[in-house]
Amino acid sequence: MSDVVRWAAFSCVLVPVVLVGYGTSLAGAAGTALGLAAVTGACQVLLRRSERGAARLRTEEPAPHHAPRGEEPGPHHVPRGRVGAGAHRGGRHAGGNTPVD
């Protein structure tokens, strides 16, 4: 169990105890504990899945993200922005240094 999950489990116990100490009903504190436990469990599953995916990516050979120098990009290449005149569109002030009322 990772440190993150240990702290989350600790909070699942501590938060209801504090709530009861401040006058919340036992049913409300129990509901809060169940909710925190459900969120902790979901986060643990997602964290484990993410760690496995990262480990899998580290073992695979990385694919090139772009065409090598000197070669034209493939048909899937989409230009990211405008170049040349008219590249700056819109914005807060569309025209020169005119005052805005």
11 CB contacts (<8 Å, ≥6 apart)? Answer: 36, 40
- pTM, 2 dp: 0.50
pLDDT tens-digit readout, 18-45: 999 999 898 999 998 999 889 988 988 9
96 CB contacts (<8 Å, ≥6 apart)? Answer: none
Q: Does position 94 have pLDDT exceeding 70, yes or no?
A: no
Q: Does position 10 have pLDDT exceeding 90, yes or no?
A: no
pLDDT of residue 8: 82
Q: What percent of the chain has pLDDT over 90?
A: 11
Length of the chain (residues): 101
Banded pLDDT at 75 (limits 50, 70, 90) = low
Q: For residue 76, what are the CA distances in angstroms to 62, 66, 72, 80?
A: 19, 11, 11, 12
How far is it, in rounded angstroms, from Cα 44 to Cα 8? 9
Banded pLDDT at 88 (limits 50, 70, 90) = low
Q: For residue 23, what are the CA distances in angstroms to 17, 18, 26?
A: 10, 9, 9
